[in-house]
Chain A
Amino acid sequence: MTPGLAQQAPAGSKQVLVLYGERLDLPAIRAAEQSLRETFAASTAPPVEWFAEYFDFARFPAAEQDVNLTEYLRTRYAGRRIDLVMPVSSLSLRFILKHRDNLFPGVPVVYAVQSAAEIDPAALPSAVTGVAAELDVRGTVELALQLQPEADGILCLGGASAADQDALARVTRVLDGYKDRLPVRYFAGKALPETVEEVRKAGRNTIVLLVSMIRDGEGRALSTREVSKQLSAISAAPIYGFAGTLMDTGAVGGALVDFASTGRQAAGVALKVLNGGSVPPGSPETKSPTPLVVDWRAIQHWQLPMSQVPAEAVVMFRKPTLWEDHRGLILGILLVGLAQSVTIGALLVNRARRRRSEESLRESEKKMNLAAQAANLGLWLRDMERGEVWATEKCRTLFGFQTEEPITYAALLSRVHPLDRESKSQAVGRALADRIFYDTEYRVVLPDGGIRWIGATGQAEYDAAGRPTRMLGVCTDITARKESEFETHELRLELAHASRVATLGQLSSALAHELNQPLGAILRNAEAAELFLKMDPPDIAEVLAILADIRKDDQRAGGVIDRMRALLKRRHLELESLEVAGLVGEVAGFILPDAAVRHVTLGTSIPEGLPAVRGDRVQVQQVLLNLMINAMDALPEGFGDERSVVVQARYDRGDSVEISVRDTGHGIPPEKAGKLFEPFFTTKPQGMGIGLAISRTIIEAHGGKLWAENNTGGPGAAFHFTLPVAEEGRA
């Protein structure tokens, strides 16, 4: 140690070396790092100078790095006086316990880890203490069981790194105690795409437990937070976990380790130790709490019973309803409205008193307007008998009515977006029937064509005979909130490309088969050629024939790869003249192996002399592929029935060719026919419901149409699309 260097530190300051076991970009590490930094920076007694190392043990296992790391630390900190070492994560704690005598003999160690279970306070060497958060496995599982009393199984997910496996082992020990109540399935150490697929397939009544995943089975560096986001986007069941970083990812929650508070607490212990204090391991201040935390939005999303959330749980991201937000105001306004309606009634009865009533009306209207404007609410009153509506200025603006324009309920309803009219009327109808408040959201089409989202609530008054006489209510503009919801929706659409990739994943076995054919032929030919060359005399003629065959098979394999790459690419339309027969033949060839395995007869019926069509080869093939795979999926299981998919083409004259994909499957149930082409509509348990929507978009971009119908006089359905005839092909 060089005394000169050691003196560089300010007088009286203490030097702390923080050893992070994982990468800084992990949200958990970032949270811990930030609270450590803040606590140290704020400390004046003593002032702290700190150094940090990030080992990334998930990708560079300690076992392989031991020598390098110790050498590195020794060299790097040789000139420094280190007063305290802080391992963050149990892997770096293990590392420092192993090498402390060697690297920092006698230097106190204060750890921050998220697993108290593996630390035996009694077994720790002297001057080693720290803060640990015990994974509260039971806490999370009990929460899940309360929220999902009908759960039929637990799917437990974990990663492949040593830290992931440690955590999973601890969870497994506790879950063993639940085996009698629920089947527990583990899916750990697998590739992320496989994990995603597994979660997508999980039943709605599954409890998905995401333990931790900072590296997957294929070596991807991940974070549990990132994984939770991805899983939540597609999961068929609610997700629970243990990491505080799960919040705001779409996961429901659990007994979560708060990495920030663990870090803060550990920094506090470190300061105490630096000041000569003693904090024995296992004492209360070394235990970091794991509070129950749930995401209100996830609870709503999964329609879990809010009433079952334990009282001590922290509910995050609760979005108050319009009613909850303004309960007092709404009640007040309704009372004023009642008085108001009396006035209006009087007005309508007694025209002679009109002027004075109007004055009084304007007066109280002004008062209400003020109150309502403060809350940005519009008020309205609807006279059921006359169909007339009275509305505040704000309310008129919301619906796009002029100040003096008379409003009828019919006019109001006509402003409501056609697609929302039904649901709004139903909400109002229910409220009238059950004598309750209604709370509804709908779009309004403004006279200038603009769209505005309205949140509205209201209630009716009834006469002695129980007939509703008036309805009173408030409304507000919720466009901004809806827009942010749409952004999420847009994000989902980006998954479309991902789903195309997933479709190819399903085809991968067929692809492997197609590639292995030519590659296998090339190999066998090359081996045979060797033998022919070794003959005496060598059979040159045979070898030449072999070489020609090898060249042919090489091109064949290249063709398979080109087609696959073309399908994976995202791009714009590249229109060219296409022969329908060739187009269909290529796609049929592509899925033939798949069809053979699934015992599906694949047929094509393309009449001769069909004019060429104009289109983007790859995109049109993608549509065909999608329709053909759908058709195969629609076929009933079992071998007794006819299982066939036929592609036909037809040209009647005019300027388009019609191509049809016909199956002998279940057909399209009438109640689903209207929704087929909506994004996210799917009848397949594992489908994303994106294929048909994308297919229609593609065909429409070509100037064609895509539609579906059930076969007449036979089982199954047919999907038809048209493509314009290419100029040169026109008769």
Chain B
Amino acid sequence: MNPVVFLVDDDASFLTAAARLLRASGFTVQPFATAQEFLAQLSEDTPGCVIADLQMPAMSGLDLQAALAKTGNAMPVIFLTGHGDIPSTVQAMRDGAEDFLEKRAPKETLLAAVTRALARDAMVRESRAKINGVRARFGKLSGREQEVLTQVLRGALNKQIASELGICERTVKLHRTSITTKLGVHSVAELTRLAQEAGLGGS
């Protein structure tokens, strides 16, 4: 899916102008006059980034950022401001703003910020997808296999696992073979790394 640059600004003529520039520069752009309209249509899986005016009536850029963080699609936010005032800049940065640009920042700065934001979004999505993939693989393990896996990750020897789970050592070995096959790993080290990626405790 093509990443989308979501442009949110209550100033109609700036919105049109900025959308034109970004489109002419090769980006897919969706303009919105208010933060509410943008949030209402946002789907969970659309990749992209947001460029939002900091000062908007009703729902400001900071409010938008906060609301976006609560959705399942927390994409990077670039703030635009007519006049950079320090308290809001600090607040925005603290809340993880991708970038903070003056409305009249040079084109190169704007385009570079968008490219950077999209790249970061893609990276976040990729690693999220990877984690999800790894988790899915762990999900294929049977209950007993997961028990064995937990012991293995703790560093227990086959003999200890067997006595802990009340099964014979040979069965433990069979489970281990099945685990490595299902997860497609070749060593305990690789297994540990994968488990860490999936967010499972390795220690």
Contact = CB atoms under 8 A, between A and B. Distances in A.
Contacts of B33: none
A521 B53 CA distance: 13
A509 B107 CA distance: 23
Contact of A516 (B13, B23, B83, B107): B83
B21 A596 contact: no
Given A523-B104, A525-B20, A527-B21, A518 B83 contact: no
Contacts, number: 82
Interface string A503-544: 000000100111111111111110110011001000000100
A532 B11 CA distance: 23
A524 B13 CA distance: 10
A596 B56 contact: yes
Contact of B20 (A515, A519, A546): A546
A593 B56 CA distance: 8
B13 A597 contact: no
Interface in A573-618: 592-593, 595-597
A63 B13 CA distance: 50
A525 B17 contact: yes
Nearest to B9: A517
B104 A512 contact: no
A512 B104 CA distance: 11
Interface string B14-52: 101110110111000000000000000000000000000
Interface string B50-62: 0000011100100
Contact of A515 (B24, B80, B82): B82
Contact of B13 (A535, A549, A593): A549
B147 interface: no
A393 interface: no
A545 to B, nearest CB: 9
A197 interface: no
Nearest to B16: A549
A261 to B, nearest CB: 47
B167 to A, nearest CB: 61
B13 A519 contact: no
B60 to A, nearest CB: 7
A552 B20 CA distance: 16
Sort chain B's interface into a size bin.
20 to 34
A646 to B, nearest CB: 15
A528 B60 CA distance: 27
Contacts of B60: 596
Interface residues of A, number: 31
A532 B24 contact: yes
Contact of A519 (B56, B80, B104): B104
Contacts of B103: 516-517, 519-520
A512 B57 contact: no
A520 B55 contact: no
B54 to A, nearest CB: 9
A365 to B, nearest CB: 75
A312 B121 CA distance: 74
Interface string A627-652: 00000000000000000000000000
A520 B57 CA distance: 19
Contacts of B17: 520-525, 528, 546, 549, 553
A729 B118 CA distance: 58
Nearest to B26: A531
B102 interface: yes
A517 B21 contact: no
Nearest to A525: B17
Contacts of B14: 517-518, 520-521, 524
Interface string B76-92: 00001111010000000
Nearest to B13: A521
Contact of A509 (B21, B80, B83): B83
Nearest to B25: A531
A521 B25 contact: no
A154 B75 CA distance: 48
Nearest to A553: B13
8 contacts: A513-B81, A514-B82, A516-B104, A518-B14, A520-B18, A521-B16, A521-B18, A528-B17
Given A517-B14, A524-B21, 6 more contacts: A516-B102, A524-B20, A532-B24, A546-B17, A549-B16, A552-B13
